[in-house]
Structure 1
Amino acid sequence: MRRLVFGFLGAVVAVWPALAQPQPFPPGFRVQDIQVPAVTIHTRIGGSGPPVVLLHGYGETGDMWGPMAADLARDHQVIVPDLRGLGLSSKPPGGFDKKTQAGDLADVLATLGVDRIDLVAHDIGNMVAFQFAAQHPERVRRLVLIDAPVPGVGPWEEILKNPLLWHFRFGGPDMERLVAGRERIYLDRFWNEFSADPAKFSEAARAHYAELYALPGAMHSGFAQFAAFDQDAIDNRTWLGTGARLQMPLLALGGEKSFGATMAEVMRAASTDVREGIVPASGHWIMEENPQATISLVRTFLEGKD
């Protein structure tokens, strides 16, 4: 069963975020806070060439993609947003369903004047990427989804039964008070349990992300991402119920010690062109545990060499 765990202002500002990153983006990247309806999306942009968007998940932020951004920026324009409510994006009271967040991405791309993209996502980023690809299939050339299920797709109900996914239903009036000031303790549980080797999730990265998730409103936003799963499942099943399927080439990557080949099995329920890939010697946190293999697998797919 452990294999079914994934454990998901329009002005240029300073070159680096306010908090130092464990693995910084290359100096050529700039940071732009982009105002979209109801939220400001903190976005890193660098490189030149065909655009590729990298979407993060829970327990991390767009900072996770530093090594991949450095590699892809050699021949791509790389765009790395923080999801609404997380990282250095603003913390709105709502709008955490993934259909709305796909709209955030569409608005970010419109601001940047970007049309067609390659889209690479991990964890909750998968769910946003799936909705973006469903709403705008003509805008996604190739899609990579890494090590997390998509609500309402494939064996979703069976996945929800796994006791290690208790945090999907963690709620109630006291949940934020329980973790206030204890964000590192809460997050360490995920970083440890969903790693093949917890030591590979460095102390520098843990301290960095814990500080970001301790920002006002961040834990509320994180819980809201999970609370929206029921609506996400409804939205995805409604789309699938029309007979629609994703048509673009899709690479489904699973960590060897996490979702593994199940990632591709899940996505075959919603896509006509799924390629399977495994990140070796890795649990869920692929960019912490085996960034080199992850980058190689993604680049090979984006170059059409799969």
Structure 2
Amino acid sequence: MGSGPVVLLLHGLGCDHTTWAPVMESLARTHTVIAPDLLGHGASDKPRADYSVGGYANGMRDLLTVLGVDSATVVGHSFGGGVAMQFAYQYPERTERLVLVGSGGLGPDVSPAIRAITTPGFHQLMGVLTAPGLRHVTTATMRLLARSRMPQARDLGEVADIYDSFKDPRTRAAIRHVVRAVVDWRGQIVTMSDRAYLTEAMPMCVIWGADDMVIPVSHASNASALAPSARIEVVPNAGHFPHRDHPERFVKIVRDFMRSTDPSRYDRERWRQLLDDGARVPPVQAEAGESPLAPVHSVRRASSA
């Protein structure tokens, strides 16, 4: 909807494009807004397919191509933030700016509920837990608690929608494939820590709810350490869905960020130089056996010999 510079909105795990409903019309007053249901979510197909973040990035490239869009500001929430980062990494020439909202990929921590999706028997157990009677009682209870305004319960309305969607076996299977690609029992396994230095060539804004119970707000500090040029916005009295908790504030942050930054212009030589120089890993990010502040390419770079 709308017209003007393009904004691509990527929802989180188990959600669909309706998560952006509180902000789409407002953004569309000044921008062209594209909000798809990612593969395996919402009304999109749920095939046995590639549910990796790279696969999703390819899908968004194809979507923009079909729509005749050359480049966009990419806004990603939660898992969609991981897809947005991957898209920017794979297709810098098509990414004008990057906005990450309560994003995955900025640290290992994640809620136990998401880790549970990776466990054996999840598919069968959710089949039982989403039987009509139990599902209706559980979702109604979650929505009632969400209206209590307790910080710990503020996200339960959206969680109830996700839980309700698990009644579809195809959705459960797709979400399980997605989570297994990015999470194991220790937490998140996909990280931007060895690629964040590439944001030197791309404007980035990070938005987080101060009361996020799904991915800790401390990950916003991780983003600041990994990408010092990034703009960090922590929204008070907001949980994992700041765009739903405070839509007007969210739109203002995004609009001000876009107004105050120039779109990234892909420079192949500059990108090549950044890749060749590599990143320097902060001490808290260094893996066992690596020296602090070691160039990433010295341990992860593929040999060209």
Give the alignment's TM-score, normalised by structure 2. Answer: 0.70
Alignment of 1:12-161 (within 5 A): 46-150=1-105, 153=106, 155-156=107-108, 159=109
Assess if the C-alpha contact under 8 Å between 2:72 and 2:96 holds in 1.
Answer: yes
Assess if the C-alpha contact under 8 Å between 1:122 and 1:148 holds in 2.
Answer: yes
| Match status 1:255 vs 2:209 | yes
Deviations 1:115-148 (A, max 9, x none): 1101111111011001000111122111110113
Whose strand fraction is larger, Structure 1's or Structure 2's? 1
Match of 1:275 in 2: 231
Distance 1:170 1:260 in 2: 19
Assess, with a 3 A threshold, how the Cα gap between structure 1 residues 123 and 199 changes in structure 2: closer, same or farther: closer
Whose helix fraction is larger, Structure 1's or Structure 2's? 2
Alignment of 1:210-289 (within 5 A): 210-229=163-182, 240=194, 245-246=198-199, 247-258=201-212, 262-268=218-224, 270-271=226-227, 273-289=229-245
Match of 1:196 in 2: 151
Cα shift at 1:290: 2.0
Partner AA of 2:50 in structure 1: G
Larger RCO (CA within 8 A; separation ≥ 6)? 1
Cα shift at 1:98: 0.3
Report sequence identity in percent.
28
Distance 1:287 1:76 in 2: 17
Assess if the C-alpha contact under 8 Å between 2:20 and 2:244 holds in 1.
Answer: no
Distance 2:191 2:22 in 1: 32
Distance 1:191 1:298 in 2: 31
Assess if the C-alpha contact under 8 Å between 1:169 and 1:226 holds in 2.
Answer: no
- Structure whose CA Rg is larger: 2
RMSD: 3.5
Assess if the C-alpha contact under 8 Å between 1:179 and 1:186 holds in 2.
Answer: no
Assess, with a 3 A threshold, how the Cα gap between structure 1 residues 188 and 294 changes in structure 2: closer, same or farther: farther
Length, aligned pairs only: 249
Which consecutive residues of structure 1, in runs of 5 or more, have no partner in the other structure? 1-45
Match of 2:121 in 1: 174
Assess if the C-alpha contact under 8 Å between 2:224 and 2:232 holds in 1.
Answer: no
Cα shift at 1:190: 11
Distance 1:191 1:137 in 2: 43
Cα shift at 1:209: 4.8
Distance 2:144 2:61 in 1: 30
Assess if the C-alpha contact under 8 Å between 1:118 and 1:143 holds in 2.
Answer: yes
